[in-house]
């Protein structure tokens, strides 16, 4: 596995595989408020790509470019081995340190490490007392886990359409869907672009609702002057293998102190003491079960990776933004392509780079476009198949394909391009040249 970030990250902070300590500014980065932001050096990383013309012979890459592999270095390997040689493999001192470092990074008072973002969302709903007879409003433009957990607690998911630019949940559609049974809104920060939290939270205040943030894509993202995860809303992050920070599998939950106090027992069988507080020196074997909780705890093996990845996150984020700017620069003049947006009042985490095809400009649709990229050895994906199109939700709630026209019309023409800090400048050029060659070949 390719594991040397020094070959794909720029700047002296990574030239020899060194990482940046959490909270410090790396060389090649400048401060933007209380967060670091990359200097626009992308032209040094991946020079402007020449657009294919009738006189240009396109040459595809020889090896397949995977869509989103993890970037794991020797630091993570060393930290995991150190854990394996220690007295703690499951939830222990490294998990607690990861929680504290993560909370400090996003500006939260505390955090709860879990085995997935799904676990975080489920724990949040359970800790808030949401259950049978309740309704929870969310978006169809998300992975099914967001909606599955609403089913798990016995509540009814109520889907509403999305905004046409960001593809985030539409506050106007939320307002129309609120009923006497509504208890909560699950706002998904799609692809890493924060949802319109001011409007959503205003609706929640007016109607006495909870807001839960699905931030699986949103590390590190900012909404106006606040980091996603720093507020009182229960906010669930994902550390799955493809995410901006990975622990293989894993997640984190932030929120108010009162909420986390209720949520923590839910994450481990409803127990009042975890293994560390029972078996470490000075601990007590006594515990009580406060609720029929879940087995959602993170292990120290996972946390060991997370501690290293968190220290590298600013560099990872800077590289993602460089790639995004390179894509933007290369695709900006193509009338066949609609580019993803970043509103002026947010900082996008750029977990995904979602292109949308303009059907009136091309002789092929999305599926064939993906096949053409595959033939050129470029891996892609689609985010997401709208939830109401899946058989379970379609049949259970009687959804029609056209119930959410914005979500469906965008799904039918979207694809996600490779976007990860392992991409070299030649990888980025290969993606761009392949996309432009397909556009040129199949233009109307």
Which residue is associated with the tokens 């560390």?
276
Work out the angle at residue 208's Cα, subtended by the Cα atoms of residues 181 and 129, and round it to the nearest 5 degrees: 65
3-state SS class at 137: strand
Q: Does residue 224 carry a catalytic annotation?
A: no
Q: For residue 255, which phi and psi values (nearest 5 degrees)?
A: 160, -170
Q: Exactly one of 7, 94, 243, 295 is catalytic; which is it? A: 243
Q: Per the omega criterion (within 30 degrees of 0), is the bond before 289 cis? A: no
- Find residue 112's DSSP bridge partners: 253
Within 10 A of 3 (CB to CB), how many other CB atoms are there?
A: 15
Among 218, 188, 193, 141, which residue's Cα sits nearest to residue 410? 141
Which residue is associated with the tokens 């509403």?
160
* Dist. CA 363–CA 350, nearest whole Å: 29
**DSSP, residue by residue, 179-245:** -TTEEEEEEE-GGGPPP-HHHHHHHHHHHT-EEEEEETT-TT-EETTEETTSSSS-EEEE--TTSSS
Give me the long-range contacts of 20-28 (CB less than 8 A, separation at least 24). 20/311, 20/312, 20/314, 20/315, 21/311, 22/101, 22/104, 22/105, 22/310, 22/311, 22/313, 23/104, 23/105, 25/314, 26/314, 26/315, 26/318, 28/318
Active-site residue numbers? 243
């Amino acid at each position: 596995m390719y594991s040397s970030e020094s070959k794909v990250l720029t700047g002296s902070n990574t030239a020899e595989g060194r990482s940046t300590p959490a909270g410090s500014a790396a060389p090649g980065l400048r401060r933007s408020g209380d967060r670091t932001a990359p200097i626009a050096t992308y032209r040094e990383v991946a020079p402007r790509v020449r657009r294919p013309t009738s006189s240009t012979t396109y040459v595809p890459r020889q090896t397949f470019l995977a869509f989103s592999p993890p970037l794991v270095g020797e630091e993570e390997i060393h930290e995991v081995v150190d854990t394996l040689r220690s007295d703690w493999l499951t939830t222990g001192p490294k998990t607690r340190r990861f929680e504290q470092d993560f909370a400090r990074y996003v500006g939260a008072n505390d955090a709860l490490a879990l085995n997935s973002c799904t676990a975080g969302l489920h724990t949040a709903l359970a800790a808030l007392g949401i259950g049978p007879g309740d309704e929870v409003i969310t978006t169809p433009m998300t992975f099914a886990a967001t909606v599955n957990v609403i089913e798990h607690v016995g509540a009814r998911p109520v889907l509403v359409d999305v905004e046409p630019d960001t593809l985030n949940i539409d506050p106007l559609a939320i307002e129309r869907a609120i009923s006497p049974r509504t208890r909560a809104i699950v706002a998904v920060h799609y692809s890493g672009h924060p949802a319109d939290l001011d409007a959503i939270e205003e609706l929640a205040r007016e109607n006495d609702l909870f807001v839960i943030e699905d931030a699986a894509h949103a590390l590190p993202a900012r909404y106006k002057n606040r980091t996603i995860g720093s507020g009182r809303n229960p906010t669930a992050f994902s550390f799955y293998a493809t995410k901006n920070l990975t622990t293989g599998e894993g997640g984190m939950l932030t929120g108010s102190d009162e909420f986390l106090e209720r949520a923590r027992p839910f994450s481990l069988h409803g127990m009042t003491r975890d293994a560390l507080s029972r078996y470490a020196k000075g601990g007590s074997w006594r515990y009580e079960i406060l609720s029929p909780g879940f087995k959602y705890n993170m292990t120290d093996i996972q946390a060991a990776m997370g501690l290293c990845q968190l220290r590298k996150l600013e560099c990872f984020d800077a590289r993602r933004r460089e790639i995004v700017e390179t894509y933007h620069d290369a695709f900006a003049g193509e009338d066949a392509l609609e580019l993803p947006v970043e509103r002026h009042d947010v900082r996008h985490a750029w977990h995904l780079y979602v292109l949308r095809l303009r059907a009136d400009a091309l002789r092929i649709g999305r599926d064939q476009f993906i096949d053409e990229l595959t033939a050129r050895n470029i891996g892609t994906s689609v985010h997401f198949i709208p939830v109401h199109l899946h058989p379970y939700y379609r049949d259970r709630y009687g959804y029609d394909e056209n119930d959410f026209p914005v979500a469906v019309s965008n799904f039918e023409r979207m694809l996600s391009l490779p976007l990860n800090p392992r991409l070299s400048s030649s990888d980025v050029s290969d993606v761009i040249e392949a996309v432009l060659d397909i556009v040129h070949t199949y233009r109307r």
